[in-house]
Chains A and B, each alone.
Chain A
Amino acid sequence: MRAHREAIAVAVVVAALIVAPLGQGNYIAYLLCSWLMLAIAAMGLNLTLGYAGRISLAQASFIGIGAYATSIVTLAHYPWVLGMAVGVVLCFLVGLLLGFPALRVRGHYLAFVTLAFNSLFFLVARNEDWLTGGTYGLSGMPRPRIGPVSTSGQLAFYYFTLAVALLAALVLRLIVRSPWGRAFKALRENEVRAESLGLDVRRLTLLAFAIGSAYGGLAGAIEAPLVQYIDPGSFDVVQSLSLLLMVVVGGLGEFWGPVLGSAVAVLLPEALRVTAAYYLMLYAIAVILLMTRCPGGLIGLARRIAARPARRRGAAVS
């Protein structure tokens, strides 16, 4: 019954997302694209951190790898799909490599290792001008064509992004609903016990990084044609931290958490624009309150509220 309710909720939200930008300006469509793009990256980080329990402060660098790969490929007049595939595969492989330190270190140490990786990526992107355009970055990336249809209009590109995001969510859903999802959580909860029950901890840890990073790459493949200008600064450590915040605010290990968390990060500033300079302060206070009162994030909060009437009913019976 719960799955049933969730399916209805998803259908309603998707329908809302389809009509949301209609009759609105380009800016709204652009904003929604940014949100969906970040949601994809945050979903990947949620797999690595929320499900598998391995922290990564390098997710922005994977968006970067995906964005640079897509830009380079599409600027050379190859199709977007190829650029996206190159970016995603590259991120999968680099993510796999980044997983190796995670076999040895945990927690803060792993945070620093991944942070160092993000800095390394930033330096490479800035210094290797021949490939990345250095500090000038790359610009003028074309938007993808699907057969005869171009997505160069903001609305068309929004629907394209929506389709990619839904597909990405569906694939991740299938992964975490399969026995793999349980294995990721077991890895998070008690690695030694999981291994004693037959789990190949090494392989699953590497996969947690590889898949999570591949989602970063996919987000980058959206960002390149969305923004049509990328430079190393778009993928620095601050961006990785902000992705971490999105995942935590949404609810670690909650499937829809990153979608909600990224919505808060992207759409709330717009909604609160009237508060001008106070926005960041309000946001910071809200995050502090949420994290101290409800470490389960927004989804955890929603669950708690949903559970409350049931408990009251239970109390009334007894």
Chain B
Amino acid sequence: MTSPHLSVRGVFKRFGPVVAVHDVSFDVAHGEILGLIGPNGSGKSTLFNCILGQTAPDAGSVEVDGRRVTGRRACDLSLLGVGRTFQQLAVFPGLSVLDNIIFAAQEHRGGMLGRLFMRPDAGLTEEADRMIEFFRLGAVRNKLAGDISYGQRKLVDAAMAFMAGPKLVLLDEPAGGVNPTMLAELRERLQTYNREHGTTFVVIEHNMDFVMSLCGRIMALAEGRIIADGTPDEVRADRTVIDSYLGG
């Protein structure tokens, strides 16, 4: 088990004249929590989208568990055990919290035709309720996801990323716009999940306290390139990082 869980090699992505991701390569080990920091527009979200099949990279390759996934669709990645959240909140506002969370796993159950003949909940209510309890969403279980608070929706979003039992989860600014109490709760939930399931995380985050205390390793991106990679203390002390991000 020395092979990396996620391996990114030479990924390039440009939008017209803008090079959003510039020759990025890195590995993430099984069970690791990697933080990804960098100023706005440094290419973090685009990198996620390239890894997850949402955007086709112009060059480079991505491997999950030694399997090449470059060019695969986002739904394939999900079925291969890679979960994610989006920077822009992404829940289904017209569905109940319970339905949001059930949906997050139903496409992993059987084949498409088979699902037509399954019970309405695809046998997932119990599991969804466990997830609802884990993220302490019990009070809003039957409310529409569009009717609950922003912080609660962030939790629903996270719960959805975990529902199908992914081995690798990529979180894009999970703490953005979340109040301090909810923030501590979110960090604690993520750490607990990582400890209990050995799930690998890559977390994009601007909140330094959050990311420094959550992650064992931090990578800094600027203008599409990796400018630092190390422990939180190392990265915090790095001159280039201070100049391009922390200091500025």
Contacts and interface: CB of A to CB of B under 8 A. Distances in A.
Interface of A: 175, 177-183, 185-186, 188-190, 192-201, 203, 253
Given A190-B91, A193-B86, 8 more contacts: A179-B106, A182-B120, A183-B103, A183-B106, A196-B83, A196-B90, A198-B75, A253-B94
A194 B93 CA distance: 12
Nearest first, the 7 closest Cβ-Cβ pairs linking A and B are A198-B107, A198-B78, A189-B92, A193-B90, A179-B115, A195-B74, A179-B122
B149 to A, nearest CB: 18
A188 B117 CA distance: 22
B107 A197 contact: yes
Contact of A192 (B86, B94, B107, B108): B86
B54 interface: yes
A274 to B, nearest CB: 40
Contacts, number: 92
B115 A178 contact: yes
Contact of B54 (A185, A192, A197, A200): A192
Interface string B200-228: 00000000000000000000000000000
Contacts of A253: 94
Nearest to A189: B92
23 contacts: A178-B115, A178-B118, A178-B120, A179-B121, A180-B115, A180-B116, A182-B103, A183-B107, A185-B94, A185-B99, A189-B94, A190-B91, A190-B92, A192-B86, A193-B91, A195-B75, A195-B78, A196-B83, A197-B75, A197-B105, A198-B78, A198-B164, A199-B107
Nearest to A207: B112
Contact of A182 (B74, B86, B106): B106
B103 A175 contact: no
A197 B160 contact: yes
Q: What DSSP secondary structure best describes chain A's contact surface?
A: helix
B95 interface: yes
Contacts of B108: 198
B224 to A, nearest CB: 22
Nearest to A199: B107
B109 A179 contact: yes
A197 B118 contact: no
Contacts of B163: 197
A186 B78 contact: no
B73 interface: yes
B55 to A, nearest CB: 11
A189 B93 contact: yes
Contact of B92 (A177, A185, A201): A185
B102 interface: yes
B11 to A, nearest CB: 19
B8 interface: no
Given A179-B118, A186-B95, A190-B92, A196 B103 contact: no
Interface residues of B, number: 37
Contact of A196 (B52, B102, B106): B52
A181 B92 CA distance: 14
Nearest to B109: A179
A193 B156 CA distance: 13
Interface string B35-47: 0000000000000
A186 B93 CA distance: 9
Contacts of B160: 193, 197
Contact of B75 (A185, A188, A189, A200): A200
A201 B94 contact: no
Interface string B146-183: 00000000000000100110000000000000000000
B47 to A, nearest CB: 15
B75 A177 contact: no
Contact of A190 (B83, B90, B112, B121): B90
- A178, A182, A198: residue with the most chain B Cβ atoms closer than 10 Å: A198
Interface in B42-67: 52, 54
Contacts of A182: 95, 99, 102-103, 106, 120
Contacts of A180: 115-116
Contacts of A177: 120
Nearest to B163: A197
Given A198-B75, A200-B112, A178 B117 contact: yes
Contacts of B91: 190, 193
B117 A185 contact: no
B184 interface: no
Nearest to A202: B73
Given A185-B94, A186-B95, A178 B116 contact: yes
Contacts of B164: 197-198
Given A198-B75, A198-B108, A198-B164, A193 B92 contact: yes
Contact of A198 (B79, B86, B120): B79
B13 interface: no
A196 B160 CA distance: 10
A200 B73 CA distance: 9
B92 A196 contact: no
A201 B115 contact: no
A197 B103 contact: yes
